Structure 1
C-alpha cells in the first residue's frame, strides 16, 4: 500500500525512486525521516517548472539531468545554515598553528614559492570564506608578506550568487565585532551590510559537487581546507568518495578541518588525525601520492 503527499503527489515508491536519483546525482542520502522536508522542496520545484505533477516533472528532470531543473532541485534540497566566525576556534588553530606549520614545511618565508591556498567547501552564502579573510587581515602578522588565495565552492548556484553579492543581515553578522563591521562592510539599508569590494574580490567562488571526482580534479594543491558540516549528510560510500576527492585537492602535509560532530576516522584512514591545542584537525600525509 502506498500513500500520497498532497501537492507533490508522491507515493512511497515515488519517494524511494526520487531519493535514489538524488543520491546518484549528489551523494546526499535522505532517510524516511526527511520525508516532509523532501516533499515540500519537490512541491516548490514542481511549481517552478511547467509541470503540474510529480510524474511529469520527474520524467523531465531525468532527461535534462544537467539543466536548470536539476540545478533548481539541488538549490532547494541543500542546507545552507551558516554565519560569520562560526566555530572560530578552528580559525584560531589556522592562525596559531596551521599556517606557521605550512610555511615551515614549504621552506619558510624566504624559500617558499606560490601562494598559500585555502578552500572553503561548501562555502554556502560566503560567510565562511569571508570570515577567513577577516581573521587573516586582522590577526595574522604575516598577511603583508605571504600571498594567500581564498577559494569558496558549493553545489548550490543560488547560494554562490548570494556569496558573490556578499550582503548580510543581523543573523549572519551577530558575531562580527563592531569595529570590523565598520572597517570591512558597507551599509546597504534595512539592517544589511555588504562586504567591501577588496575582500569580495579576494575570494574566488566555484560551483562543484564534492562527490564528483571528475569536477574535483580542478582543485589542487590546497594547504588548508575547511569542509564543515557536510559529510553528515552522506552515507558511507559518498563520504569515502568525498574524502578521497578532498585528499586529491590537498598539498601533501595539508590540513583539513571538519565540523565538530564529524570524524574522518570513521570514514577513511587516508588522513592522519592531528591534535592541536585548539582541537582536532586532519592532515594529508607527506608521503602520499
Structure 2
C-alpha cells in the first residue's frame, strides 16, 4: 500500500497555520521556514489519518489543546543538544554564581531550603543531567547543600526520552570516560543510561515558557538555564517569555541564555552581570 501524496500548503494555508501555531506556542515561523513547516505539518496530517490540510486543520482547532496539538508541537520543535554543551556557562555557575547564591541565601550552614536550578527547554535531558554531573564532580558543597534540579520542555516526546535517559556516543562525546563509567550504565547497542540515582534527582515537567499561567508553578529558582530558545520567538513572545523567566527566579537569581542571545534586546527587567566566563542576567535583589 503506497502512502498518499504530500498535501502541500497553499500560501493562505501557511499563513493561517503560522498564525494559529504562534497563538498557541509563541513560536513564529518566517516564510524562510516554509519547507520545514510543510514537511512537519504533512507528517501530522498523515499521523492523524486525514487526507487534506483543511480537514486536519479544522479538527486541530476543534480539539485545540489535545493530542493533535501536542503531536504538532512535537513535530515542529527542534531538539539539538548534547552533554556539556556551552560548558563555559557551567564553569560560571560553579565558580561565580553558586557562591553568590549561597552568600545571598545566608551563607553555608545557614541556607534555608534547597538551591533550585531549572533547565528550560531541557529537550532530551542532556542539559539538566550535565548540571547534575558537573555539580557532583566539581562543586565542593554538594554534600552540604540540598539541591533541586528541574527540567522542562514543551515537547512530550523529548521529555519521555529525558526520563529514560539513554544516550548514544554523539550525545556523550564531551563526557569524560571516567564519568561515563561512574554515572552511566551500558545498556547495549552503543547506548548508556544515566544511573537511577541521578535520574531520580531530576524532576521533569511539560510547560511552554510563553504560557504565563502555566509558568506560575515555577517559582523561587536560584538559577535558570534558558538557552537557544528565545531566538525562535518574535519580539512579543520573547518579552512574555522574559517576564515569565523573571517571575520564576528568586530576587537576585541568575538567568543563562544561549551564546547568540541577548536579554538587552528583549527586556530591561534583568541586570546583566559580566563574569569572566561571559554574561549572565540577574533578577535585581529586592525586586518584586
TM interval, shorter chain, is over 0.9
Partner of 2:83: 84
Q: How far apart in 1 are the matches of 2:184 and 2:177?
A: 10
1:54 has 2:37 as partner: no
| Cα offset, 1:110, TM superposition | 2.3
| Cα offset, 1:112, TM superposition | 1.3
Partner of 1:202: 201
Tell me the TM-score normalised to structure 2 length: 0.98
SS of alignment partner, residue 237 of structure 1: helix
| Cα offset, 1:196, TM superposition | 0.3
1:17 has 2:20 as partner: no
Q: How far apart in 2 are the matches of 1:176 and 1:25?
A: 37
SS of alignment partner, residue 170 of structure 2: helix
Partner of 1:126: 125
Q: Deviations over 1:61-101 (max 9, x none)?
A: 00111111000000000000000000000000000000000
1:170 has 2:176 as partner: no
1:189 has 2:206 as partner: no
Q: Deviations over 1:166-194 (max 9, x none)?
A: 00001100000000000000011111000
| Cα offset, 1:50, TM superposition | 2.0
Partner of 2:243: 244
Partner of 2:153: 154
Q: How far apart in 2 are the matches of 1:257 and 1:110?
A: 26
Q: How far apart in 1 are the matches of 2:174 and 2:21?
A: 35
Partner of 1:105: 104
| Cα offset, 1:9, TM superposition | 2.9
| Cα offset, 1:52, TM superposition | 1.0
SS of alignment partner, residue 91 of structure 1: helix
Deviates more, 1:259-268 or 1:45-54: 45-54
1:220 has 2:243 as partner: no
- Equivalent positions of 1:38-49 (< 5 A) are 38-49=37-48
Unaligned runs of 5+ in 2: none
Partner of 2:277: 278
Partner of 2:253: 254
Q: How far apart in 1 are the matches of 2:190 and 2:109?
A: 45
Q: How far apart in 2 are the matches of 1:81 and 1:24?
A: 24
Q: Deviations over 1:38-75 (max 9, x none)?
A: 00000110110021110000000001111110000000
Q: What is the aligned residue count?
A: 284
Structure 1 moving runs of 4+ over 4 Å: none
Q: Deviations over 1:237-279 (max 9, x none)?
A: 0000000000000000000000000000000000000000111
Q: Deviations over 1:185-227 (max 9, x none)?
A: 0011111000000000000000000000000000000000000
Tell me the TM-score normalised to structure 1 length: 0.98
1:63 has 2:62 as partner: yes
Q: How far apart in 2 are the matches of 1:45 and 1:124?
A: 20
1:287 has 2:283 as partner: no
1:73 has 2:72 as partner: yes
| Cα offset, 1:111, TM superposition | 1.7
Q: How far apart in 1 are the matches of 2:126 and 2:38?
A: 28
